[in-house]
Amino acid sequence: MPDTANPDSIDLDELIDEFDTAPARLTIDLGALADNWREMARSSGSARTAAVVKADAYGLGLEDCGTVLYKAGARDFFVAVVQEGVTLRTYAPDARIYVLSGVWPGQEALFYEHGLVPVLASEEQLAFWMSVTAEHGDHPCALQIDTGFNRLGLGLDEAIAFADDVSRPASFSPVLVLSHLQSGDTPNSPANEQQLQAFRRVAEAFEGIECSLSASAGIFLGPDYHFDLTRPGIAVYGGEAVNGVPNPMKPVATAEARIIQIRDAKQGETVSYGGTHRLTRDSRLAIVSAGYADGYMRALSGSGVPLRQTQGEGAFGFIAGHKVPVVGRITMDLTIFDVTDVPQNAIAAGDYIELFGHNIPLDDVARAGGTIGYELLTSLGLRYERRYIYPDD
C-alpha cells in the first residue's frame, strides 16, 4: 500500500484507473465479437468463413480483434492495405491474408516476406503481378471481378477471356475469385439475382478455383450466394447487415462519455452554438466530454444542422435507465444531453452517458446522423480509453 501520509511516496499509477477516469471510453466485448463470427460461420453453411478486419478492424483494434477471431477459428482474413496485412500476420501466423487494394510497384517484397495475397482488380495490376511472379517465383493471388458494382474489378468479359487465355504464365496462381454485391443489404433488390447469375458465369470459367461473393449481407441471402468462402465484416462487429429487419448480432462496442457538469437552465433559454435549441421548460443539462473530434459527428445534433430539417430527432444517449436526447449542436469536444427526466439523485457529474452500445444500438445512432454503423465505428477518434473484454474474462 502506498504511504498516503507522505505524498512523495505515492505512485499515482496505483491510484488511477485510466478507464474509470477517462473523458471518453470504449468497451470492446471480444467474446461477443467471437460469437458473432461463429454465428456468421454457422449461417454460411458449408462455405468456409473469413473475417474482414480492414480499417483497424472497423475501428475496434486490429491486433486484439484479429487475435480473437483467429482463436475463434478464422483462417482467412481480408484487409484493405498491405500495412494492415503486415500487422495482422503477427497475430494470425498461418492464416491466408488477402489485401483488397492489390499490389503496387515497391510493395511486392512485403507480399512475399509476409505471405500476403494481393487481390488484383485491373489489367495493370494483373500485368504487374505476372511480371513479379515471373521474376521471383510463384506466389498466390486473388482476382476481383466486377459483376455490376462499377467499383473495383475486371469486367465480366475481361475476366472470362482471361480465364480462357492459355498463354498466361504457369507461375501465375490465383487461389480465389471474388466479387461484391451492390445491394446485398436489400434482399428484394433484383440486382442481387443479376449479380449472382453473372458471378456463376465467372465461377464456371475459373473452374477449380475457389469463389467468394458474399459479405455479411450476402450471407443472409442464403446458400446460393455462399460459394466456397464468405467474407463477413460489419455483422461480426455487431452492426446491422440487412435493412429493415431486426439485427440478430450481439453488440460489440460500447462508447461512453463522462459528464463534466450538470447545469440548470430556464425555459426560453437557448443551448449551444447559434442558439438553435430553445428550451420549452426549465431543464437540467448534462455536458459530456465527447464531440465530433471523437467521431460523435455533428450531424447527430438535436438542432442547428441541415439533417434536422428533414429528419426530426437527433441522437439519444442512455443513463440511469433513461434515454436522453442530444440538445443543440454537438461541438468538437462536447455534447449536451437533456437529463431533465432523469431523477436528480440518480446521476452526478463524473458519471458516464452511453453514446451507443447495449441500450442505444449503434445503427440507431448512425441513422440519427444520416449515415450507417460502418462510418460511426470507423470514425471513432483516438481519445477513447479502450477496455477489451476477452472471452475468458
Which residues fall in the annotated binding site for substrate?
A: 151, 332
Dihedral sign for Cα 387, 375, 148, 145, please. Answer: negative
Q: From the candidates 58, 225, 250, 273, which is the catalytic residue?
A: 273
Residue for cell digits 507480399?
111
Tell me, yes or no, if 54 is annotated catalytic.
yes
Q: Of the residues 54, 70, 352, 384, which is catalytic?
A: 54
| Residue stretches of the annotated binding site | 151, 332
Known catalytic residue: 250?
no
- For residue 274, what are the contacts with CB-CB under 8 A and spacing of at least 6? 304, 329
Contact yes or no for 54/235 (Cβ under 8 A): no
Give, in order, the Cα–Cα distances in Å from 167 to each of 76, 140, 176, 383. Answer: 30, 18, 20, 54
Of 367, 285, 290, the C-alpha closest to 328 is 285
Inter-CA distances, 238 with 11, 36, 259, 367, 390, Å: 39, 7, 26, 15, 16
Q: Which residues contact 172 (CB under 8 A, 6 or more apart)?
A: 129, 130, 133, 138, 141
Under a CB-based contact definition with an 8 Å cutoff, are residues 376 and 365 in contact? yes
Return the active site residues: 54, 273
